[in-house]
Amino acid sequence: MTIAAVADARSPLGERLKAVRALSLALAGPLSDADATVQSMPDASPTKWHLAHTTWFFETFVLRDHVPGYRLHDPRWPFLFNSYYEAEGRRHARDRRGMLTRPSLDEVRAYRAHVDAALVAALPTLADAALELVELGCHHEEQHQELLVTDILHGFSENPLEPALWPAARKVPVAMPGPIAWVEGRTGIVQIGHAGDGFAFDCEGPRHDALLTPHALADRTVTNGEWQAFIADGGYREARWWLADGWAWVKAEAIVAPLYWEEQDGVWTRFGLDGRRAIDPAAPVTHVSFFEADAYAAWAGARLPTEFEWEAAAAGLDPAGGNQMADAGPVEPRPGGGLFGDVWEWTGSAYRPYPGFKPVEGAVGEYNGKFMSGQFVLRGGSCATPRGHARASYRNFFYPHQRWQFTGVRLARDL
């Protein structure tokens, strides 16, 4: 893990910690205890669990390990709120997280307050190694903030009443985007991976050379309107556009459209955090799987970019720009975005280690390396990514059938 040097920036870290912790609470604000408790599928976790797990991370790796005399808020809770750290011992089964009606949402809030207070008190005296873990914990919590939002969306979608978490954002009329323009990318050897002394996850390094062949990237992502054309052309009914595993998935799951889409009286609608509404043809398509992204690209006579092509294009751009999540409120892809924000962009790159990658020692080292099989890399961040969390070198990853994140498609082609 290439954790950035925290240098003497100690008070900023304290501010950042408070801001991150506050956003999580704010996201859970509109939720009832029940909303925050249920689990709609094994891939998703309850809000309460996200709130507690991110707290457990700080409690375990910072307070327990680096603050002498710290006493666990409740010694039975690590079993409940450890996610997957095998080195931290046995833990509650992932697919039974929705059974935890106790502790309540209020008790979890109290847990957060307890740990926050201890962290703030300890901060001035923590050694650098511990401060790095505090920073890691902030980034870790930001990851969970995005999951929290997408998991709530999934949970609400399972309720036939289709409740809205937030009112719809005011729509600004936008002209339909024109045809894709192709932007030629860099060719030859480029530097890939995190550089500099800012924070990055272990899997973003080591920085290394990569070789790019002549190619171009689309200047924008695929829109809902374009996706409708794919559907209308029988895209989901023709095997030839699909990877074999993707076609098996389409048939087994009876997939006919992106997740949350439903045709009502001839109109395609989508369910979102503001309820069910007609799709916006100008906005980026989202909630599509890698299989769908790849099939769409084949249908369109193009391909998905590699993660290196994407990173080379993004180098130098402001990763905090675009439509990302700044506070708790309406979240949705908007027309006309750039490389960062709106939707995570599926790449054609399998999630594998960079040359020279080594996991960190100890429990924290289970962070990313052990997921490096069967998943594909996504780049760029989405409308649900906390602003400030994105980076050009950031590697998100999901299985090729998963689509409950805000995932979309940018096309590429060979030159």
Angle between helices 10-27 and 128-157 (to 10 degrees): 20
DSSP 3-state of 239: helix
User: Which residues are CB-contacts of 9 (< 8 A; sequence separation ≥ 6)?
Assistant: none
Q: Does 279 bind its own copies (CB under 8 A)?
A: no
Interface with its own copies, residue 251, by CB under 8 A: no
Q: Tell me if 163 contacts its own copies by CB under 8 A.
A: yes
Indicate which single residue of 5, 7, 26, 87 sits in contact with its own copies (rule: CB under 8 A). 87
Among 400, 405, 407, 408, binds its own copies (CB under 8 A): 400
Q: Which is nearer to its own copies, 86 or 233 (by Cβ)?
A: 86
Contact mark string toward its own copies, 108..147, x via CB under 8 A: ----------------------------------------
Are 63 and 112 in contact by the 8 Å Cβ rule? The answer is: no
Q: Least separation, in Å, of the C-beta of 234 and its own copies? A: 14
- Contact between 42 and its own copies by CB under 8 A: the answer reads no
Of 22 and 239, CB closest to its own copies: 239
**Residues 209-248, interacting with its own copies (CB under 8 A):** 209-211, 213, 215, 239-240, 242-247
Q: Stretches 50-58, 159-167, 333-341, 383-391: which one binds its own copies (CB under 8 A)?
A: 159-167
CA distance 28 to 157: 17
Candidates 119-127, 166-174, 311-319, 343-351; binding stretch for its own copies (CB under 8 A): 343-351
d(CA 94, CA 373): 19
One of 350, 360, 388, 402 touching its own copies (CB under 8 A): 350
At a CB cut-off of 8 Å and minimum separation 6, what does 101 contact? 37
Paired tokens of 320: 């905090």
Task: Give the span between the Cα atoms of 415 and 413, in whole angstroms.
Answer: 6
- Sorted by sequence, the CB contacts under 8 Å of residue 248 that are 6+ apart come out as none
- φ/ψ region of 11 (left if φ > 0, alpha if ψ in -120 to 50, else beta) reads alpha
Cβ pair 393, 206 in contact under 8 A? no
Residue 369: phi and psi, rounded to 5, are -60, -35
Q: Pick from 50, 98, 270, 407 the residue near its own copies by CB under 8 A.
A: 98
Q: Does residue 189 touch its own copies according to CB under 8 A?
A: yes
Distances (CA, A) of 327 to 33, 149, 237, 319, 366: 21, 12, 40, 17, 30
Q: Contacting its own copies (CB under 8 A), which of 19, 22, 26, 84?
A: 84
Binding site for its own copies (CB under 8 A): 32-38, 40, 76, 79-80, 84, 86-87, 92, 96, 98-105, 155, 158-161, 163, 189, 208-211, 213, 215, 239-240, 242-247, 290-291, 294, 348-350, 352-353, 355-356, 366, 370-374, 376, 400, 414
